[in-house]
Amino acid sequence: CVDWIHKCKEKGIHVPIVPGIMPIPTYQSFRRMIHLCNVKVPEKVMQDLDAIKGDDQKVKEYGVQLAVDMIKKLHTEAGICNFHISTLNLERSTRLILEELQLHKQQTNKIPPWAPVHDPARAELWDEFPNGRYGDSRSPAYGENTYGAGQILPTSDASSKWGQPNHENDITELFVKYIRGELDSLPWCEERLHTESEAIRQRLTDINQRGYWTVSSQPAVNGVPSEDKIYGWGPKGGYVYQKAFLEFFVSDQHIKELLARLYKDSSITFYATNLKNAVTWGVFPGKEIIQPTIIEKASFEAWKDEAFGLWKEWEEQYPPGSSSQKVLEEIRQSYWLVNVVHNDFQKSDLLFNVMLA
């Protein structure tokens, strides 16, 4: 960028140049943006982020420092004095960048412990960890796809990676291979399973072999320190509580029997929909503990279009009328997308027991 600015000046271009700086909000959203925008990222930056991708706090801190370093370099080496910071409607990282550059005064007044919850110094943190589709739809960060950037490869690459599926059993085999780590991606999952899924890998394998093709999952966690290398997130000194959830595709033949089981467990929240917008749901009545993984009907319905759209994109990688194209089209037309949350996070196996009953 510095070289480009110098070349502009050499050519007699003296209009103001205002670089755009975007703090890194989360590892997943960063990967999604560089994928969609086809941006080349320095290898050193990706290596640094890969090493801390499981810790949202460290990723944000790294993003702040990277932005500060970029601004300082552009100012000292290219004489740039104006910058546009893309906040993504999140205040904290932008404020920290300005403070580090000594362009914003730090908060010096001590906040009393009885300060109201709407106090700005506290309220800015409410939606920082984590963000995305599994968050509160009131959050300005709402809308990130936490799966990664739904990956559809060019025709030749799709065939070499995912083969030529000719039957639903072939799709089941692909999902099982992904869960076992024998396949590094699926159309809905750009990366391998996260480390936290290791604890439930065998249960996920069993579920996929039953024909429940999982595209997202989370194990239950009860009071793990926020510094934990696997389950931790957010500032230090806290504790993580999370409910087990699964999101998966299931055939029209099995949906009625599955819903009957889900309705029987009063601790389960679920949403189910198909391509034709037939939607059904059951909501757990209690809200004793507010926790970051929130499955909302509005969120689920928004994601549904993209989830089924990826079946369509995968289908289009094969010749019209071919066996693979036909089976993928039939799945897209007839299968259901289901999201299930078990609200008792103290018993980690309950959700899987219901699914495998």
Instruction: Using pLDDT thresholds of 50, 70 and 90, give the confidence band for residue 169.
Output: very high
Instruction: Using pLDDT thresholds of 50, 70 and 90, give the confidence band for residue 288.
Output: very low
Encode pLDDT of 306-316 as tens digits: 889 999 999 99
Q: How far is CA 18 from CA 21, 76, 104, 270, in A?
A: 9, 15, 20, 47
- Give the mean model confidence (pLDDT) for residues 61-85: 92
User: What percent of the chain stands above pLDDT 90?
Assistant: 31
Looking at residue 138, its pLDDT comes to 42
Of 39-53, 81-95, 135-149, 184-198, minimum mean pLDDT range: 135-149
Q: Which amino acid is at 310?
A: L
Residue 55 has a CB neighbour count (10 Å cut-off) of 19
pLDDT at residue 278 tops 90: no
Instruction: Using pLDDT thresholds of 50, 70 and 90, give the confidence band for residue 58.
Output: confident
pLDDT at residue 322 tops 90: yes
Looking at residue 301, its pLDDT comes to 76
- Full-model pTM: 0.67
**Paired residues of 268 in beta bridges:** 342
pLDDT at residue 149 tops 50: no
